[in-house]
Amino acid sequence: MQVLGGHPHVVEIRDYFEDAENVYVALELCSGGDMFNSLIKQGRYSEADAAKRCRVMLEAIKYFNENGVVHRDLKPENFLFDETGEVLKATDFGLATFYKQGNKLDLPCGTPLYIAPEVLRKFYDEKCDIWSTGVITYVMLSGRLPFHGKTLQKILDATLAGKYDMDHPAWEAISESAKDIVNKMLTYDPYFRPTAAELLEHPWLAPNGASTSPLVQSVFENLKTFTEMNKLKKRAIQMMATNLPVADIEKVKKAFERADEDNSGLLSLAEMRKVLDRLELDIDEEELQRIWSAYDVDENGEIDYEEFLAATTDLSRIRTLENIKMAFAKLDRNGDGKISVDEVMTALEDMNITEEAAKQMIAESDKNNDGEIDYAEFIAMMTEDFDLADGAKAGIGGIAAVIADSEA
């Protein structure tokens, strides 16, 4: 770290001390938290924010390379924010090493979710840091992991295969320029993978090169997912959406007010059709009815603001553990740690659902068949198509032992 001192995006060594047994290193204080917690809290970044973070990471890597250093464990947890929450700094050089241009390294190390395939093959160079940055950028833009699995070995197998996609709805509103730089960083053959210096010339990283919108470009990106939810899950999403940052809520509120032409506080089917037409979405009447039904959670024939907010919100931004816990607490009215049939009926009383319908909703998520939804089952229900947090848990720890076991 002493070699890398003096760079604005690398944590500084302030001092060091030693006694007969230990050396103590005092590092620069970065009290703004790490990028991982920022991602878990936000779900994903806007393109502009992601581009800003990506540029910082690549500038740090370029500096590493200029000093003959490869980090070998780049991941969101190893980038810290200063007290302002704006300046990002690389840290944790425990696996870093010096290298000579043209020579290959062979020690398998790093964190499974972000490790480059050539590291697993024990024949790699400094470009392994570029791959890790590509994975991080993929996560920043989509809120999802490109390589994942339910076990450590499956994660490693997925990484070795090197196959990922951008088919999830989260990518529909991402610019081609953003996709291009991610694809370049995740080039499988490191020989053809660009250097940090080359990537810093990419147009997406130029000033105003990325979208500044903190919300998804199309407010209807999540409709398919929202449509397929049962009423209990939609009500939970409504509760969670009210916990969005004020700036995001204001944007949705303005969109609702523009759509509500008669200022009734409710959207009619005709007003919804105009909204879709303005967005130049080619949707036939049958599809419009499906969309309408998805929005109209209480089935009163009109859409109120809370329904609009829930259905148009980027789900990855609100499905945080904090928000899920808040929604569960509201639904669990008696505080016994479970959501009962009666509590479902109370939460959905404006929809006049039957006891049988409430039982069916519970049955869909009641894994232990006790007739109620406990907190773990509720988390599973709310995150069944969102794998960032689960993947992160699976990816904690080193991989040398796993590789050793697989070769034994």
- Can you spell out the DSSP letters for 94-125? TT-EE--TT--B----S-GGG--HHHHTT-B-
| Calpha distance 121→277 (Å, rounded) | 52
Residue with tokens 């907010």: 309
How many separate domains does the chain show? 3
Average pLDDT for 374-385? 86
pLDDT of 385 over the 80 cut: no
* Sequence-separated (6 or more) residues with CB below 8 Å from residue 323: 240, 243
233 and 350 inside one domain: no
Average pLDDT for 106-120? 94
pLDDT of 306 over the 90 cut: no
Backbone phi and psi for residue 239, each to the nearest 5 degrees, phi listed first:
-60, -45
Provide the whole-model pTM. 0.57
Mean pLDDT of the chain, nearest integer: 81
DSSP-assigned states of every residue in 21-88: S-EEEEEPP-TT-BHHHHHHHHSS--HHHHHHHHHHHHHHHHHHHHTTEE-S---GGGEEE-TTS--E
210 and 222 inside one domain: no
pLDDT band at 242 (very low <50, low <70, confident <90, very high): confident
325 and 287 inside one domain: no
197 and 285 inside one domain: no
**Residue in 73, 125, 304, 374 annotated catalytic:** 73
pLDDT of 314 over the 90 cut: no
378 and 232 inside one domain: no
For residue 324, being part of any structural domain is answered with yes
The closest of 402, 391, 401, 333 to 76, measured between CA atoms, is: 391
Q: Where is average pLDDT lowest: 6-15, 243-252, 259-268, 358-367?
A: 243-252
* Sequence-separated (6 or more) residues with CB below 8 Å from residue 342: none
191 and 65 inside one domain: yes
- The residue ranking higher by pLDDT, 12 or 157, is 157
Structure tokens at 140: 């920043």
CB atoms < 10 A from the CB of 183, how many?
A: 13
The residue range of the domain holding 353 is 320-382
Q: What is the pLDDT of residues 49-72, one digit of tens each?
A: 899 999 999 999 999 988 999 999
Q: Where is average pLDDT lowest: 76-85, 195-204, 358-367, 377-386?
A: 377-386
- The residue ranking higher by pLDDT, 335 or 271, is 335
User: CATH no. for residue 137?
Assistant: 1.10.510.10
120 and 202 inside one domain: yes
User: CATH no. for residue 377?
Assistant: 1.10.238.10
pLDDT of 74 over the 90 cut: yes
147 and 289 inside one domain: no
Average pLDDT for 265-289? 70
294 and 366 inside one domain: no
Q: Which of 270, 289, 313 is the last residue of a domain?
A: 313
206 and 68 inside one domain: yes
**Does the annotation mark 387 as catalytic?**
no
* Sequence-separated (6 or more) residues with CB below 8 Å from residue 121: 160
| Calpha distance 295→298 (Å, rounded) | 9
195 and 101 inside one domain: yes
69 and 188 inside one domain: yes
The closest of 300, 298, 273, 301 to 287, measured between CA atoms, is: 273
For residue 5, being part of any structural domain is answered with no
